[in-house]
Amino acid sequence: MLDIALTFSLATVVLALLLNVYRLAKGPDMPDRLLALDTMYVNAIALIVLMGLWLNTKTYFESALLIAMLGFISTVAVCKYLLRGDIIE
């Protein structure tokens, strides 16, 4: 039962990543691309968690935490750049 659920979950996350890539390539404006990139960070964390379940190891969860922090900080930095034209004033 767990194998089927894990396979389904992996398939949906990969499909979600493909949809994000579509929005990243097409998005008419800069905030659309930024939103797609932020969602891709979250989906990458989901993929790492599912890989940890698949391989039965907890080694990669630190990298998931790191990706969460870097994703948030880079989103805030690009938002500040778009709002003010400068990151650190």
- The amino acid occupying position 37 is L
Closest alpha carbon to 10 in 40, 49, 59, 66: 49
Nearer to another protein, 2 or 88 (CB): 2
Minimum distance of another protein from residue 88's CB (angstroms): 15
Which pair of structure tokens corresponds to residue 70? 């870097």
Nearest residue (CB) to another protein, 69 versus 88: 69
Q: Report the interface residues with another protein, using CB under 8 A.
A: 1-2, 4-6, 8-13, 15-17, 19-20, 22-23, 29-32, 34-36, 38-39, 42-43, 45-46, 49-50, 52-53, 56, 58, 61-62, 64-65, 68-69, 72, 75-76, 79-80, 82-83
Categorise residue 36: left if φ over 0, alpha if ψ from -120 to 50, beta otherwise: alpha
Asked whether 76 and 88 are in contact (CB, 8 A), the reply is: no
